[in-house]
Structure 1
């Protein structure tokens, strides 16, 4: 399902932009009525040299909606505390390990190669805020970042605010989030997750003494927003379904039982968050659903004041809020501005009746966001599928410039710019051949300076690689952008191994950026391709609208059309074409292999959202209620029927499927582990081929996989070895 939206609070924080198998798997021929009886039938021993896959017990469960009954034989796998479930997941892990045993050396080689390209003692580009220079650095051999600062100048002594390596000791998983320093520079707020369910405990540290304060607030989103009194913080609490639903106010040094609830988002289709404006003048509470927003504000100097609504929510009215001077600046789709426009309104009269236009709507340009300075306005835009950064002078309308990036396929984004008075715009840039780079653009002189480019350790030379932007044609005539990268010297003979990746949901655009990890495939002859399919927002807001709800199948057919295009253009062939997607992109993989399995030699489906209807009918599952405007509500028959027509789990059939590696995490809060587990069990029971079907469950992690800087690449090495092993088998 949907990746958690980074709230505006995340973008407002100072450091946000930095950087043994068990028994109990039972025969699929054994029936039962309750999961508790699964111990009665265990996997029969088979005398053969080949590893035998586990077969999950079939326990039929009838699921009836709108008079339609579906039989789910593997529904019982959602019992997280059932030992039989854990035993099955462990048995699948053991089977995967045995099937890929011959790739152990290759996996280690890939892992060493990937990690070997990473500069271990690296640091981010420092930025200045309230008299301090802030940065994140890494030490050689350490998995986690060190958050530090220096006062006044980078020559001053270092102050370590948080050493995540020490906090992570004796933890199988650790993530720090939402680091934010108080206005007087003396206190640090931060969140910690040690389970990977994205339920953070808020903690506070005295930066002068190094003392960790006794205040600890569990079950939050991980960030706190400081009022200007340096003792009051606002934070967001999660409900049992992990929806961000309440905003509380806490005073340091007081029991959390005395915290005051200041806002309750009662509508289950909305989530809520809190942030502080760049001006430090206002604390903003936001509420968001797929199609609507609402914001309220209070003076940061008066945290006990009453929050006032800027513009009450209206279905279909989307807007976001920032502040400068005596005005709020509003990016909105008001009055049919599909690609959004920029408005301003007096703080004293913020309702939409008083919104006046600053940047008009444009049919061919999507306005993604803004960055306000005293003398300039920076705009994050997207045109023809590519990012643009535009800089305008407040005082001189003719002073309007776009930054020239000079490559065919790239990504660019506005970075962290906390200083209103600056004439320097910090931005990030990358392409399929250019490592991530941090620049400063002088908005007055129009000159730019490269501050840092990610170092790729070893003999990497960008001139050895070539990137292209091509267009596939969909069945309905729509042009689908495809970004490609490969090592120079490629012969278009239809015989190149190719990995095609896509996401295609939630209006999330897949940018063609650099990956040093990907070099391990490119240097072995792979073409890497990104299909910018509908459901994302690469080609404007309508690109998203045409890939969701009752048009969701466009996402799947676009990917298939892009696959056929790569074959037609002689980049590859079905025996050497591989596909990959994760989360909602995993749903894409599930739909595609049901529709056109013969197009792909192998598929990697990471944390795949594949049991669409059952999940969307269960409002107790995290994120479900906020998803109805993305997928539809199956409680309505029209959406039920449409979702049923593509839901990967419901459409598994007795036919051949590609080789498949499916990954998940036991503690995943976004796509619950049982979706891929059930899907694999059903595929294993019904498919008619002899291709590999592997399920790998990280028993200690969630949606994002392992924590730490390097451990996550163990799974990447596994995925790459899976692909390379399939190629080796073809050549034998």
Structure 2
């Protein structure tokens, strides 16, 4: 299966060269935006009246809303279809995404399982083989056969410890709701009941008798994509019985918004991690070998993050940021659950311990050093064995396995380094190439640098900048600035067709590691949440100003882009600094900060955002930056392409609908402000390749056209 990396000396795809002699195309002045009715809805917060004239767009099932969506898409696609070079952009994106992609293999029973995509398949196919060194492989599951349009995807797998049974989750149209189907791996036949209405869960097998999973009460008809999710429960599904007989393991007496459930490798301990927000969890553990045992509470608050890393007899290793902002590893036993009894095994480092795993009787600790991976191998007693020799500066992952494993497979990637799988010998520490893709892209033509710039309050913020070697810093380069800044999530270097397409078309790509993320631990995260959220926007604005001051680009050639919490980032930036960039791409964004908590899992985000109904101070802060509420009449905003999807039940499309309606009402400039609403798609996961190509084509065509740049072959 090993393949040789191909970096052709002559790129197979003709690179685009930008010029300013643009062909005739669509004009923003000719756009007739759909009429959007307004209603007299007013909410009162601590004596403050807040009009919400587009509240009716929150009802995604209403005929009026569906009609509005069709009208908006008609206007948007009429504009996009008239961009003269759109087909050329599509050809570039399609050719760059068209390469074989293979995941790292996992062994279950007598087989190794892995995903593979021939390049343009809508969904990756699940394969297996008994010998990784042979060419004999078989298709185990092909999600492309689940639906005609490729919109039903696999969303997770779990095997019994002997590999004889396997449960896979499926998502329909990108929704977070799942079905669980169990197969006999020898015959591939369905076994037992198909479970429905699962959400935010994994599958944890106990022998072959059944498995644990988490879910919410079944939503009411028509409310699955919008109704609030609360009071999740953990169930045990016994094979051979219907789902209706599944017993509640946790969640009847102690109610929590969400509960993650899992078993230790030896299946002795059932570990529960209740949560109410996106950061911080309680910790409960039950010894399943004790017939009279009950759950033991290890942590009784949501102030820190904790997870069981490894169990060895009575000994438990815990990965935690309690009393360690950059995380540490501690050890204890189930009869000494309280944190004051925990003993530090691996102390906190100056660098963030981004993740930790075990395999082959060792620990593997993945640190972030200025958002770049550094992996260390330690004994189970915490003694340093070696630093894993990584192939370059970038991001590594996948160092988990079973205690008896002698090898593991990890993945390495960077901005211009395609995701590559390596085989790692656990005892010797040697890595060898296992699977490396052939791509029509020459990384030698590009350079990546990391810079540090000052934000508004003087804080040093890191940013990666990627561009062709020898680019002239004359302020005329089209540049794309990307950010996120939230929920303790770290942005690290990785290979993506999105960024490669932009680079191949001659653009500069920049990714800023904003506060609110996890790049520098708990303090970095907390510096960008609640009453500190403005720091994130200031960091992003300063990143744009840096790119301009260093002559990478100019306001007329800068685009800002981000998704989900990053969509909030773009929305807040364009309302606070409409002059910063020429183009804004807020994707599936959180844009109404006063009502976000009323839909699906939105209430969990209060740990980062706070809630408008919590206090007058918090209301005023959220109201002060909420993108939907801070659009101003008569303002000229950047050329804006809002993107969302009709099955997004993570950040409901109502955010984007309402923002688009008010933006079209208030905008006074000569740039287009459009919304692109994908159908049969969700927040992003499981999106078919064909839809991804179309989305990227439209985004980059819109961006270049509104920078007055014309690509030429």
Q: TM-score, normalised by structure 1?
A: 0.86
Question: CA 1:268–1:532 in 2, change beyond 3 Å: closer, same or farther?
Answer: farther
Q: Does 1:234 align with 2:242?
A: no
Counterparts of 1:211 and 1:244, CA distance in 2: 34
Q: Paired residue for 2:329, among 316, 320, 342?
A: 342
Name the structure 2 match of 1:358.
Answer: 345
Question: Would the alpha carbon gap of residues 322 and 674 (structure 1) be closer, same or farther in structure 2, given more than 3 Å must change?
Answer: same
Structure 1: gaps of 5 or more residues: 1-47
The residue number in structure 1 matching 2:222 is none
Shift of residue 506, structure 1, vs aligned partner: 0.4
Instruction: Work out whether residues 171 and 686 of structure 2, in 8 Å CA contact, stay in contact via their aligned partners in 1.
Output: no
| Counterparts of 2:414 and 2:357, CA distance in 1 | 23
1:649 alignment partner, one of 603, 628, 631: 628
TM-score with structure 2 setting the length: 0.88
Q: Equivalent residue for 1:630? A: 608
Residues 179, 223 of structure 1: 8 Å contact kept: no
- Distance in 1, Cα, partners of 2:244 & 2:509: 53
SS in 2 for 1:713: helix
Q: CA deviation at 1:424?
A: 3.8
- Between 1:433-442 and 1:320-329, the stretch displaced more is 433-442
In the alignment, what sits opposite 2:522? Answer: 541
1:267 and 1:554, CA in 2 relative to 1: closer, same or farther beyond 3 A?
A: farther
Question: How big is each residue's C-alpha offset from its partner over 1:514-538, in whole Å with a ceiling of 9 and x where there is no partner?
Answer: 2234232212221000011111111
Deviation, structure 1 residue 300: 6.1
- 1:411: Cα distance to partner? 1.9
Q: CA RMSD in A?
A: 2.6
2:568 aligned counterpart, secondary structure: helix
Match of 1:328 among 304, 316, 338: 316
| Stretch deviating more after TM superposition (124-133 or 71-80) | 124-133
CA 677–468 in structure 1, closer or farther in 2 if over 3 Å, else same = same
Q: 1:152 to 1:485 in 2, by over 3 A?
A: closer
CA distance in 1: counterparts of 2:359 and 2:180, whole angstroms: 31
Are residues 160 and 301 of structure 1, via their aligned partners in 2, closer, same or farther at CA, if it must alter by over 3 Å? farther
Once the two structures are superposed, what CA deviation does each residue of 1:317-359 show, in whole Å capped at 9, x if it has no partner?
Answer: 431113231211111222x321121101124433323311101
Counterpart of 1:597 in 2: which secondary structure?
Answer: coil
1:278 aligns with 265
Structure 2 residues without counterparts, runs of 5 or longer? 1-27, 220-227
Q: Helix, strand or coil: the match of 2:689?
A: coil
Answer yes or no: is 1:474 the counterpart of 2:455. Answer: yes
Q: Give runs of aligned pairs for residues 142-221 of structure 1, distance below 5 A.
A: 142-151=121-130, 155=134, 158-169=137-148, 173-221=151-199
Task: Provide, for residues 386-413 of structure 1, a one-character-per-residue CA deviation record: whole Å limited to 9, x for no partner.
Answer: 2221122347936343545543xx2222
Judge conservation of contact 1:51–1:98 (CA < 8 Å) in 2: no
Deviations 1:20-60 (A, max 9, x none): xxxxxxxxxxxxxxxxxxxxxxxxxxxx9923111211112
Asked if structure 1 preserves the Cα contact closer than 8 Å seen for 2:280 and 2:302, the reply is yes
Shift, 1:276, TM fit: 2.5
CA distance 1:99–1:160, shift in 2 (3 Å): closer
- 2:653 is matched with 673
Judged with a 3 Å threshold, the aligned counterparts in structure 2 of structure 1 residues 455 and 267 are, in CA distance, closer, same or farther, namely farther
Identify the residue that residue 373 of structure 2 maps to in structure 1. Answer: 387
In 2, are the aligned partners of 1:227 and 1:300 still within 8 Å (CA)? no
Matched, 1:430 2:418: no
Distance 1:121 1:391 in 2: 31
> How far apart, in 1, do the equivalents of 2:508 and 2:562 lie?
16
Higher relative contact order (CA 8 A, sep 6+): 2
The count of aligned residue pairs is 672
Q: CA, structure 1 residues 550+233, in 2 after alignment: closer, same or farther (shift >3 Å)?
A: same
- Which sits farther off after the overlay, 523-532 or 133-142? 133-142
Task: Kindly indicate whether the alpha-carbon contact (under 8 Å) linking 2:182 and 2:191 is maintained by their aligned counterparts in 1.
Answer: yes
Deviation at 1:725, TM superposition (A): 1.2
Q: Is the CA contact 2:514–2:536 (under 8 Å) kept in the aligned structure 1?
A: yes
SS at match of 1:278: coil
The answer to whether the aligner puts 1:295 opposite 2:283 as a matched pair is: yes
CA deviation map 1:177-212 (0-9, x unaligned):
221122332222111222432111111122233322
- Per the alignment, residue 604 of structure 1 pairs with 585
**Superposed counterparts of 1:111-150, under 5 Å:** 111-119=90-98, 121-139=100-118, 142-150=121-129
Q: Residue 670 of structure 1: SS of its match in structure 2? A: coil
Q: Which has the higher mean CA deviation after the structures are superposed, 225-234 or 119-128? A: 119-128
